[in-house]
Amino acid sequence: MTPEQYVQQKAAASGSSFYYAFLFLPRPRRAAITAFYAFCREVDDVVDETTDAGVAQTKLAWWKSEVAQAYAGKPTHPVMQALMPHSAEYDIQQHHLQAIIDGCQMDLEQTRYLDFPGLQRYCHLVAGVVGEVSARIFGQTQAATTDYAHKLGLAFQLTNIIRDVGEDALMGRIYLPVNELQQFDVKAHEILKRTYSDRFTALMRFQAERAHRLYDEAMAVLPEADRRAQKPGLMMASIYRTLLREIERDNFQVLHQRNSLTPIRKLWLAWKVQALGRV
């Protein structure tokens, strides 16, 4: 299997909303974003699929070394072999990849966030930086597009957090800020035991409203000159925001189930943005 085949398989197997947006890109950009996304999946899987924290730490340390080695001209992993030919053209820098690994490292060291600024730092590493690199690959020409990418990445990550509250609780993780749990009088043990209440619903509505504000802010700061190039991000925004609205319509029944959209619906939402240019 070639490195290109490896990353294609890795991206397709994830079933992620991101994959559907890649399908509409020209071949060189599609190859770059697929390799970059496969890298993100690899390091994220270290945390999600490795039960021993010590082993996960060792694996992430290996990835940090592999990234440094790749930028020194000696990649050994198929993901880095597929990604490095695109790094110069799309200005994918070593610090971007190392930051994403640092974000995954936070998952091993921290299961609570005291306030939103603390959570925001984590989201910046695992999603904002991903948005920044993706915007470059998609064809960014305006500096302001980086701000759009960071805001959109944060909105995506907050949507993920809302969707995965119950799933994360099974692993002992609560990403909802502690001071906001206190604000709505929701106890950590209620979430860990996956207990619903009107207080929990109000807390989740507060989280959803913030995510919606970030989607709106991202769209507002996207320069018109880059709007066409950034269509893949807009496709993902359409898919993620539709998912968020589904969760809201379901009254935030996220403690015992993981909401998702069907592949055909994701493809339809992506196609609408491609054809009509609307989110």
- pLDDT average, residue stretch 237-252: 96
Question: Could you tell me if 100 and 22 lie in one domain?
Answer: yes
Per-residue pLDDT tens digits for 130-152? 999 999 999 999 999 999 999 99
Give the model's confidence band at 22: pLDDT under 50 very low, under 70 low, under 90 confident, else very high.
confident
- What is the reported pLDDT for 278? 57
Average pLDDT over residues 12-33: 82
Task: Grade residue 266 by pLDDT with cuts at 50, 70 and 90.
Answer: confident
Least confident of 15-29, 71-85, 186-200, 207-221: 15-29
104 & 117 share domain: no
The string of pLDDT tens digits covering residues 104-118 is 999 999 999 999 999
Same domain, 265 and 128: yes
Given a cut of 80, whether residue 21 has pLDDT beyond it is no
| 256 shares a domain with 159 | yes
In the listed set 55, 77, 109, which residue is the last one of a domain according to the structure? 109
pTM confidence score = 0.92
Say which CATH number the domain at 94 has: 1.10.600.10
Q: Kindly state whether residues 169 and 252 are assigned to the same domain.
A: yes
CA dist 266 and 241 (Å) reads 11
Residues 180 and 80 in one domain: no
What confidence score (pLDDT) does residue 40 get?
A: 95
Task: Tell me: do 167 and 208 sit in the same domain.
Answer: yes
pLDDT band at 271 (very low <50, low <70, confident <90, very high): confident
Residues 125 and 221 in one domain: yes
Residue 223 and residue 228: Cα distance in Å, rounded?
Answer: 10
Reading the block at residue 98, the tokens are: 């190392």
What is the predicted pLDDT for the residue at 20? 73
Say if CB 148 and CB 218 are below 8 A apart.
Answer: yes
pLDDT of residue 190: 97
Among the listed residues 178, 161, 191, the one whose alpha carbon sits nearest the alpha carbon of residue 113:
178
Share of the chain above pLDDT 90, in %: 81
Domain final position from 109, 140, 156: 109
At 254-263, the pLDDT tens digits run: 999 999 888 8
Same domain, 132 and 170: yes
- The phi and psi torsions of 9 (rounded to 5 degrees) equal -65, -40
Query: Rounded distance, CA 140 to CA 226, Å?
Result: 6
Mean pLDDT over each residue of the chain, to the nearest integer: 93
* 148 plus 65 within the same structural domain: no
Residues 118 and 85 in one domain: no
Among the residue ranges 41-55, 115-129, 236-250, the one predicted with the least confidence is 41-55
Count of all residues that appear for the chain in the document: 279
Position with higher pLDDT, 182 vs 12: 182
Going by C-beta distance under 8 Å and a sequence separation of 6 or more, which residues neighbour residue 193? none
Query: Which pLDDT value is given to residue 12?
Result: 80
Structural domains in the chain (count):
2
Mean predicted confidence (pLDDT) in 231-245: 94
Q: Are residues 245 and 265 in the same domain?
A: yes
Whether 279 has a pLDDT exceeding 60, the answer reads: no
Range of the domain at 205: 113-278
Domain end: 109, 125, 149, which one? 109
Residues 194-232: tens digit of each pLDDT = 999 999 999 999 999 999 999 999 999 999 999 999 999
